Amino acid sequence: MLQPYVGVIVKVLLIAIFSNCCLAKPSRSRFTNYTHYRLPESLKPEHYTLKIVTSLDPLHLTFAGEVIIRFQVLIGTGNITLHARNLTIDENSIELIKYDDNESTRYAIDAVRVMGEHDYFIIHSCLALLRGETYALKLVFRAPLNQLLYGYYRSSYVDQVTNETKWMSVTQFEPTYARTAFPCFDEPNFRAKFKIWLGHQKSLVALSNTPLAKQEKMYSESNETDDYVWSIFEETVPIPTYLVAYSVNNFTYKLSGNYGVKFYTWCRPDIINECEFTAQIAPELYKFFESLLAMSLPFTKMNQLFVPNFRARAMENWGLITYRESLLLCSLNSSSEMSRQRIATLVAHELAHQWFGNAVTLKWWSDIWMNEGFATYMSILGVHHLNSNWNFLQIESMNNILDVLEYDVQVNSHALTQGIKSTIQITSSFDLLAYKKGAMLVRMLHMVVGDDVFLNGIREYLSKFLYTADNYGSLWNSFSIRAHTYQRLETRNNIKIVLHSWTSQTGYPLLKVIRNYSNDSASVTQQRFFLNSSRGKNATKRCWWIPITLASASRLEFYKLRPSYWLECKKNKQNINITLSGMAATGDWIIFNVQMMGLYRVMYDADNWALLNGTLNSDKYTQIHVLNRAQLIDDSLALAWAGYMNYRLTLDILNYLQYEKDYLPWRTALRGFIKLDNILKGYEKQYKLFTNFLKYLILPTYNRLHGLNSTQNEKEISYIDLMHKTQISYWACYLQIDDCVNASKQYFANWKNSNINQIPTNLRLTVYSTAIRYGEQSDWEFLWQYLQESNNVVSEQRTIIQALTCSRNEITLRNFLDLIFNNTKYRQDSVAAFEGIARNKIGFPIAKNYLIEHFDQLRDYGTISRDVINLILSLARQVTSMENNIGILEFLAKKRNIFRHSWKTILSAVEITQLNIGWIRRYRAVVHNNLRRRNLKRGKNPTRPK
């Protein structure tokens, strides 16, 4: 009974001191439990003054801060609800001030409450906050610099000159970690200006979103001799909290960009030369986007920061882009063209975000695919601009399409637009589909409406919504209106509705084309594509708005990307059957979906397949566009796998690969072969037939590209041929083609003997893997030693780790898992290492038992639960019999509670094992018979059919 009374006295004191505060209302009874997952809409933050003092003293790695948030009251309220998590907030120094015309009034605080579930920090004011008025709230807080790689965290590296561990601090706030660094309104629709002060040791560098305005000596009451300074940054334009960023470090920079925006690329001093490439390309990409989108952003300085330990690949913070160091290192003379292309892709993606996501931000996370989809698609255009020899427009689009077609097939997949009601859901919504399906839907739209409509629509949209939050609705409108004006779209059709059918539903369609040869027509229907076709029979009604493009033997219109027809999808989801006339003459093949502009598979009647097959297996095969050859390969593999089509036909089609010279169809085929290789490798007889067939297909190309030879000078061979050689030689060695294995062993032996590594960079994965797979234990030790000793191989680390997983020694593999999971240096490659071992036939049981035995340790090791889920997924993909499934299901069931937030992913892992086992049951014999038949036929008639 005493407690409340004391409370009242304290309050009176406050009122006495600050005056003008009501005495009224005993408070506790007024409190309601605010359980909604979004913040109340009563307050609108306008400005943050954020002061953070960072200590990088190795014995004292912490930060302390103060934030003053100025906000407007939109709806009168008695509380201020904002986000804070794991911060120690000093409740005694909370100040709330109301701005009047001339003076400001201090408000007393009634009570403070923390509501953990949604990270709310709630301040009840003694007096009501009035609509239309502006207030300022000051909070003082502190926390350790964590090692979790999000929020405001610390990262370290060993200085190569002094051999000392150096610490740096950096932020990673997207999507919901700003609240762990300072109390804030941590939702993307709350944009505010930020004035940031960073307190730090004078000898260090401080970076934030904007250029440094000035630096001041920091005066501290407690410590006269401090050598701390304040770095004070220019005020930002209004940005959401997740784009705020800062870092304290001892890095140096490369300066680049000779117009408007100056680019500062920051790296630790030891590796500054490996940052040159990123510094070089960024201004060019930036300029490209600026002119493509006809919009300048208010940057004078753009920082790019290489962070030694980084969870994501990169982060597009406003004006301070952060990258995972190991992904970007590139020595100008030794790195491969492929790594340059990968770096360019990442840099382009983050720069594109400055427009898509930063200049205009989504209101909420449910449609994160729009941010990621646009940034990904724009990065493809940007990289293509940077170097058209990379043929990125085709190759990267195809990569994305094949990924979507492969992953968006499970019952447990999800729609792009997701209901997001918790922070865990927000984090897991950044998945492959958001990036790739998103990007390929943007590509589809681009092709449907045409260049001018697409670009002008975007330009208008961006300038209209600059510095606001919006969900792209008016962009779709703008596309529709223009598309109608230019007659790209019938006026009764509407982009928003078209798109909605693709984003609100899981999966993608299979188009069924049945030709009527007597009157040159074709009937077209759609259904959802399932990995097990019998699922489709009782599936619920679904349909998509499908743009239809086509070419035929007599009309090779592979460049006509605008749809000639639409397969519509009306409200009642009735599956409409349309009949198209004037298709093609009886003897001519037709192909739907030219250049795979739409995200769907196509299936034909048997006669049309036969016509296509005949052309592929003839010297006319290049009549079919290279992307459509890839399409035919991928579709026929998937259709047979899922039971829509016979393996006999698929193998007939694949047979043409012995003539195929282009990179893309091969790349597509090899992706498909990984799946077959995986599933058959446990079944000796079938596996032998399968690998013989592959060898037969691959040898002509392997020889044409001169095996592993004459690549001493990578510059003498075109980029595409180089990539082609890389993929083909990897498989040639994997299939144990003698020439390849011997050449690899020779390369490796030369390296071991001379200690000079002369293996061409693009062949290193092939050579290392082969040497480890078919070599001695001493080869393994040599490579492992090399990985540990050399500090200059960060960019090669992943390649070496992958190769080390190819060992055929059980004890080595088991020890390797320990080595990897017990050393933080390899943390970012640990999932890949585990996956490699799981894929290794000898390694699978080792990986499985390791996961089950060390589960708790592995879960702590990953900083987010996704890591351990990825381990489970990589095991699931290798399960091809009930026998090797033993233990996994029981284990998952036991851990059900731990996975409750990601149960859907666990279900999808289980689904993968079931699909694999089902496939073996249905198709092992079928594939066996067809491969044997081919084998016999090959023996009799080895010459090329006409």
Provide the annotated binding site.
349, 353, 372
Given the complex with ligand NAG, which of 61 and 448 has the nearer CB atom? Answer: 61
Q: Single out the segment in contact with ligand NAG by CB under 6 A; choices: 77-85, 302-310, 670-678, 704-712.
A: 77-85
Among residues 184, 199, 261, the alpha carbon closest in space to that of 232 is found at 199
The single-letter DSSP state of residue 659 is T
Given the complex with ligand NAG, which of 77 and 155 has the nearer CB atom? Answer: 77
Interacting partner of 504 out of Zn ion, ligand NAG, none (Cβ under 5 to 8 A depending on kind): none
Q: Single out the segment in contact with ligand NAG by CB under 6 A; choices: 28-36, 639-647, 773-781, 895-903.
A: 28-36
φ/ψ (deg, to 5) at 524: -125, 130
Given the complex with ligand NAG, which of 25 and 894 has the nearer CB atom? Answer: 25
For the CB of residue 430, give the shortest distance to Zn ion in the complex, in Å: 8
Rounded-to-integer distance, Cα 685 and Cα 927, Å: 11
Rounded-to-integer distance, Cα 526 and Cα 575, Å: 7
For the CB of residue 830, give the shortest distance to ligand NAG in the complex, in Å: 20
Interacting partner of 163 out of Zn ion, ligand NAG, none (Cβ under 5 to 8 A depending on kind): ligand NAG
Kindly state whether residue 223 participates in binding ligand NAG, applying the rule CB under 6 A. Answer: yes
Interacting partner of 718 out of ligand NAG, Zn ion, none (Cβ under 5 to 8 A depending on kind): none
For the CB of residue 85, give the shortest distance to ligand NAG in the complex, in Å: 6
Given the complex with Zn ion, which of 379 and 797 has the nearer CB atom? Answer: 379
**164 classed as catalytic:** no
The sign of the CA dihedral 910, 911, 912, 916 is positive
DSSP-derived secondary structure for 542-600: ----EEE-EEESS---TT--S-SEEE---TT-----EEE-S---TT--EEESGGG-SS-
Kindly state whether residue 300 participates in binding ligand NAG, applying the rule CB under 6 A. Answer: no
Among residues 888, 882, 886, 876, the alpha carbon closest in space to that of 917 is found at 882
Kindly state whether residue 42 participates in binding ligand NAG, applying the rule CB under 6 A. Answer: yes
Q: Single out the segment in contact with ligand NAG by CB under 6 A; choices: 222-230, 238-246, 499-507, 887-895.
A: 222-230
Place of tokens 């409509």: 453
Annotated binding-site residues for Zn(2+) read 349, 353, 372
Q: Single out the segment in contact with ligand NAG by CB under 6 A; choices: 76-84, 441-449, 620-628, 641-649.
A: 76-84
CA-CA distances (angstroms) from residue 594 to 450, 559, 632, 783? 15, 7, 11, 46
DSSP-derived secondary structure for 516-536: ETTTTEEEEEEEE--SSHHHH
Given the complex with ligand NAG, which of 119 and 660 has the nearer CB atom? Answer: 119
Given the complex with Zn ion, which of 372 and 635 has the nearer CB atom? Answer: 372
For the CB of residue 821, give the shortest distance to ligand NAG in the complex, in Å: 20
Neighbours of 666 (CB within 10 A): 23
Q: Single out the segment in contact with ligand NAG by CB under 6 A; choices: 75-83, 371-379, 735-743, 926-934.
A: 75-83
Given the complex with ligand NAG, which of 427 and 908 has the nearer CB atom? Answer: 427
Figure out which of the listed residues 226, 557, 662, 867 binds ligand NAG, where binding follows CB under 6 A. 226
Kindly state whether residue 86 participates in binding ligand NAG, applying the rule CB under 6 A. Answer: yes
Kindly state whether residue 33 participates in binding ligand NAG, applying the rule CB under 6 A. Answer: yes
For the CB of residue 124, give the shortest distance to ligand NAG in the complex, in Å: 7
Q: Single out the segment in contact with ligand NAG by CB under 6 A; choices: 73-81, 527-535, 693-701, 872-880.
A: 73-81
For the CB of residue 45, give the shortest distance to ligand NAG in the complex, in Å: 15
Rounded-to-integer distance, Cα 52 and Cα 181, Å: 9
For the CB of residue 93, give the shortest distance to ligand NAG in the complex, in Å: 21
CA dihedral 699, 700, 704, 706 (to 10 degrees): 20
Rounded-to-integer distance, Cα 208 and Cα 320, Å: 6
Which two three-digit tokens encode residue 604?
A: 């034909």
Figure out which of the listed residues 31, 465, 659, 855 binds ligand NAG, where binding follows CB under 6 A. 31
Kindly state whether residue 77 participates in binding ligand NAG, applying the rule CB under 6 A. Answer: yes
Number of residues that bind Zn ion (CB under 5 A): 2
* Cα 375 from chain centre: 11
Given the complex with Zn ion, which of 376 and 650 has the nearer CB atom? Answer: 376
Residues 41 to 70: which contact Zn ion by CB under 5 A?
A: none
Given the complex with ligand NAG, which of 224 and 451 has the nearer CB atom? Answer: 224
490: left (phi over 0), alpha (psi -120 to 50) or beta: beta
**How many CA atoms lie within 13 Å of 234's alpha carbon, on the beta-carbon side?**
13
Kindly state whether residue 34 participates in binding ligand NAG, applying the rule CB under 6 A. Answer: yes
* Cα 236 from chain centre: 28
Rounded-to-integer distance, Cα 49 and Cα 69, Å: 7
What type of residue sits at position 201? Q
Kindly state whether residue 163 participates in binding ligand NAG, applying the rule CB under 6 A. Answer: yes
Given the complex with ligand NAG, which of 252 and 863 has the nearer CB atom? Answer: 863
Kindly state whether residue 162 participates in binding ligand NAG, applying the rule CB under 6 A. Answer: no
Kindly state whether residue 238 participates in binding ligand NAG, applying the rule CB under 6 A. Answer: no
Residues 334 to 373: which contact Zn ion by CB under 5 A?
A: 372
Given the complex with ligand NAG, which of 85 and 512 has the nearer CB atom? Answer: 85
Site string for ligand NAG, 112-151 (x = CB under 6 A): ----------x-----------------------------
Contact 780, 813 (CB under 8 A): no
Rounded-to-integer distance, Cα 224 and Cα 202, Å: 15
For the CB of residue 227, give the shortest distance to ligand NAG in the complex, in Å: 8
546 forms bridges with which residues in the sheet?
A: 567
Rounded-to-integer distance, Cα 842 and Cα 945, Å: 41
Place of tokens 């036929």: 937
Among residues 156, 203, 199, the alpha carbon closest in space to that of 55 is found at 199
Kindly state whether residue 32 participates in binding ligand NAG, applying the rule CB under 6 A. Answer: yes
- Beta strand 262-267 pairing with 301-307: parallel
For the CB of residue 869, give the shortest distance to ligand NAG in the complex, in Å: 18
Rounded-to-integer distance, Cα 770 and Cα 808, Å: 11
Which two three-digit tokens encode residue 346?
A: 């990442």
Rounded-to-integer distance, Cα 330 and Cα 923, Å: 45
Kindly state whether residue 375 participates in binding Zn ion, applying the rule CB under 5 A. Answer: yes
Q: Which of 350, 396, 660, 911 is catalytic?
A: 350
- How far from each other are the two terminal CA atoms of the chain, in whole angstroms? 99
Contact 590, 622 (CB under 8 A): no
Interacting partner of 375 out of ligand NAG, Zn ion, none (Cβ under 5 to 8 A depending on kind): Zn ion
Figure out which of the listed residues 225, 518, 758, 943 binds ligand NAG, where binding follows CB under 6 A. 225
Interacting partner of 79 out of ligand NAG, Zn ion, none (Cβ under 5 to 8 A depending on kind): ligand NAG
Which two three-digit tokens encode residue 593?
A: 């979906």
Number of residues that bind ligand NAG (CB under 6 A): 17
Rounded-to-integer distance, Cα 242 and Cα 245, Å: 8
Kindly state whether residue 40 participates in binding ligand NAG, applying the rule CB under 6 A. Answer: yes
Figure out which of the listed residues 45, 54, 71, 79 binds ligand NAG, where binding follows CB under 6 A. 79
For the CB of residue 928, give the shortest distance to ligand NAG in the complex, in Å: 52
Kindly state whether residue 88 participates in binding ligand NAG, applying the rule CB under 6 A. Answer: no
Burial (Cβ within 10 Å: 0-12, 13-18, ≥19) of residue 618: middle
The sign of the CA dihedral 638, 644, 647, 648 is negative
Longest Cα separation, the chain: 104
Rounded-to-integer distance, Cα 913 and Cα 919, Å: 10
Kindly state whether residue 321 participates in binding Zn ion, applying the rule CB under 5 A. Answer: no
For the CB of residue 312, give the shortest distance to Zn ion in the complex, in Å: 9
What type of residue sits at position 830? S
Binding site for ligand NAG (CB under 6 A): 31-34, 40, 42, 77, 79, 81, 86, 122, 163, 180, 222-223, 225-226
Catalytically active residues, by annotation: 350
Binding site for Zn ion (CB under 5 A): 372, 375
